[in-house]
Amino acid sequence: MLLRLLIPILIFIPLAILQLTVVPLISIDFIVPDLILILLVFFTLRNGQIYGSILGFLLGLLFDLVSGGLIGAAMFSKTLAGFLAGYFFSEKRVETNLDSTMFIVIIFICAFVDSLFYSLLASSETDITIINLFFEFGILPAFYTAAVSLPIIVFKPSNRII
C-alpha cells in the first residue's frame, strides 16, 4: 500500500511545479486546467474509491502546503473528487475506463465538483452569483481540464508501468 501511494506522490511533485508555474501561462481568462486532478482520477480509476479518497486527501494537502492557498480547500475538494471518481471504478472495466472517452467524461464530472467546491471554500469574491459560480468556476475549468486530459488516452502506453 505504501508503494501504491508513493508513486502518485512522486509524480505529483513535477505536476505541482507545472501547475504553479507553467499552467497559469496558458490560462484563458484566469481559467486553468487542473493537472493534479487528472493524476488523481487516473490512479483512482486504477485502484478504487477508498484509495482515491486517501490519495485525494494527500494530494490536496500537499497542494495546499505548496501553493500557499487556504489550507484545507484543495484537500477537501480533491478528497471529494477522488471519492466521486471511485464510483466509476470497476475491476472489470479498468482499462476500458482509462482508454476510452469515458475517461474524459469522468474527468469532466470530477473537475466540475472539484473546482466548484474549491471556489466555494477558497474564493474571496463577494459578488458571486449562483450562475456565475456554476459556469465560470465549475463548467469552464472542468471543460478545460477535460480537454487537457485528452492526450492521456491518445498517448497512453499499453504496458502497465504506472
Domains of the chain: 2-154 (1.10.1760)
Backbone angles phi, psi at 26, to 5 degrees: -105, 15
Residue 98 CB neighbour total at 10 angstroms: 17
Upper half-sphere CA count for residue 90 (Cβ side, 13 Å): 6
| pTM (2 d.p.) | 0.90
List, run by run, the mean pLDDT of 10-residue segments along the chain (162 residues).
Answer: 86 95 92 95 93 96 92 96 94 80 94 95 82 91 94 72 52
- CA-CA distances (angstroms) from residue 114 to 5, 17, 40, 104, 121? 21, 19, 11, 15, 11
